[in-house]
């Protein structure tokens, strides 16, 4: 019988990594609350910054909190107002679009300015939550 070419020997246990992972899980409810609060603030900001014509795009903003396969939480903002050809009106307003007669309507960057301060405030609050919990 041939001897193995590579052999791994392990001493000890996984207590440190298990503690680290368990510590991260205890933040999830607090982070979810922060994401919900800022998800709604993002909707409010997007509604305020969205160009108004009929108001349908303004009223079509929503958000969800989604969990990725690796456990990461994220906010997803959506706008459900679709044009006749199923194009998302919010994106057409943001980036511009061609017209039926060969012209071009220039886009207006309103999403980034609306969400920018939301991201910063949300990150600050989440960081404070994590640091506050560490100091306990």
Residue 6 has pLDDT above 90, yes or no: no
- The token pair that represents 128 in the structure block: 């404070």
The verdict on residue 107 lying in a domain is: yes
Domain that holds residue 58: 31-135
- Taking the alpha carbons at both ends of the chain, their separation in whole angstroms is 56
The verdict on residue 121 lying in a domain is: yes
- Strand-strand pairing, 96-98 and 61-67: unpaired
Average pLDDT of the chain, as a whole number: 84
Query: What is the domain count for the chain?
Result: 1
Residues 84 and 13: their CA atoms lie apart, in Å, by 61
3-state secondary structure of 62: strand
Residue 64 has pLDDT above 90, yes or no: yes
The verdict on residue 12 lying in a domain is: no
Residue 8 has pLDDT above 60, yes or no: no
């Amino acid at each position: 019988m041939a001897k193995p070419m590579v052999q791994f020997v392990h001493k000890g246990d996984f207590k440190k990594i298990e503690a680290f992972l368990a510590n991260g899980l205890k933040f999830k409810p607090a982070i979810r609350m922060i994401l919900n609060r800022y998800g709604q603030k993002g909707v409010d900001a997007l509604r305020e910054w969205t160009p108004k014509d009929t108001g349908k795009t303004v009223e079509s903003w929503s958000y969800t909190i989604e969990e990725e396969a690796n456990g990461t939480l994220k906010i997803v903002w959506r706008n459900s107002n679709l044009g006749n050809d199923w194009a998302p009106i919010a994106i057409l307003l943001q980036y511009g679009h061609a017209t039926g007669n060969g012209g071009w309507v220039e886009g207006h960057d309103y999403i980034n300015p609306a969400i920018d301060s939301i991201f910063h405030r949300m990150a600050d609050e989440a960081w404070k939550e994590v640091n506050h919990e560490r100091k306990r």
